Amino acid sequence: MFTIDLLLNALVAGVLLGGFYAAVSLGLTVSFGQLNIVNIAHPAFIILGSYIAYMCNSLWGLDPILVGIIFIPVFFLIGAGAYRLYYESFERKDDEALRGLAFFFGVMFIIEVGLIMVYGVDFRSVQASYIGQNLRVGGVGVPTRMLVPFCVAVAMFSAVYLYMSRTFNGRAIKAVAQDRLALQLMAADPVKIKQLGFGISIGTAALAGALLIIIIPVEPSVGRLYIGQVFAIAVLAGLGSIPGTLVAGIVLGIAESLVSTFFGPSWAPAVAFGILLLALAFRPQGLFGR
């Protein structure tokens, strides 16, 4: 079964889905790719963002994206605090590889169980005017439920990209994992810089969480399901490359969508992770690696 309409629809759906995947992975690209902090709990922070969006939406009817933006600073502070703890406990002792991973693994569990205790395990979703609309361009349908998160994701990417490439602190974040000493010579405190970077990374989770709950209903443990995808994109992108993350997210989105349309959806995740395994085996530096 193959028609041009079907192909176009699959491509559009893939691009939109990919934009969302990329938004979810952006924080990891910063923390894992640029700061060398393997925050395996990142998806859990995203789910936390989803629940905050849900809470404000159901209590006061606030728009989830607005809530996501409002909570970026809060998440930034959480992230900065978490980095402090991480630095004092592991990084300073040069002990981050094994114990740092285990630490974030534990944090992931604690966030998840905390959410279960407060909200239970029912699926939650949000209401917004753009959920359930559909734009039609020729034979191609564009659901606004996917389009709006895509646009927000692109905007978020642009903002982070500009900050990272145009400001001193942004460039310092990109440099800190590569050469701490050089950074110190330029009178920047590497710990402060990493704290800033990790804060940004967790900050993006507030907005990404809001996007997630717009697209699908959320329950506390769905975060785990995205760990694989998120890391796949960060690695595929070439660690630390922000435009690479957007491209890799869209590549994965299109791959999943095409496979799902033409070969059957049950193979979609295997294809995505197949790409990841191949990339790790043959091009570990990723698509946009240094």
Site for another protein in 22-41 (CB under 8 A): 32, 38
Distances (CA, A) of 223 to 23, 80, 112, 183, 262: 14, 21, 8, 35, 28
Token pair listed for 51: 């629940």
Q: Tell me which of 25, 252, 260, 288 binds another protein, using CB under 8 A.
A: 260
Q: Tell me which of 119, 130, 161, 163 binds another protein, using CB under 8 A.
A: 119
Segment lying near another protein (by CB under 8 A), choices 5-13, 150-158, 183-191, 198-206: 5-13
Site for another protein in 140-169 (CB under 8 A): 141, 143, 145-146
What's the sign of the alpha-carbon dihedral 180, 186, 192, 196? negative
Q: Tell me which of 69, 81, 221, 287 binds another protein, using CB under 8 A.
A: 221
Q: Tell me which of 9, 91, 151, 243 binds another protein, using CB under 8 A.
A: 9
DSSP 240: T
Segment lying near another protein (by CB under 8 A), choices 70-78, 159-167, 175-183, 277-285: 277-285
Q: Tell me which of 73, 77, 127, 186 binds another protein, using CB under 8 A.
A: 127
How many residues are there in the chain?
290
CA-wise closest residue to 163 among 152, 174, 154, 178: 174
Catalogue the E-assigned strands of the chain: 134-137, 140-143
Cα–Cα distance between 102 and 109 in angstroms, integer? 11
CA-wise closest residue to 173 among 199, 155, 152: 199
Site for another protein in 229-258 (CB under 8 A): 231-232, 235, 257
**What angle (nearest 5°) sits at the alpha carbon of residue 210, between those of residues 54 and 55?**
15
Nearer to another protein, 73 or 284 (CB): 284
By the rule CB under 8 A, 6 interacts with another protein: yes
Q: Tell me which of 19, 20, 183, 288 binds another protein, using CB under 8 A.
A: 20
Nearer to another protein, 188 or 257 (CB): 257
Q: What are phi and psi of 249, to 5 degrees?
A: -60, -45
By the rule CB under 8 A, 16 interacts with another protein: yes
Q: Tell me which of 66, 101, 175, 191 binds another protein, using CB under 8 A.
A: 101
Site for another protein in 181-220 (CB under 8 A): 215-217, 219
Cα–Cα distance between 168 and 157 in angstroms, integer? 18
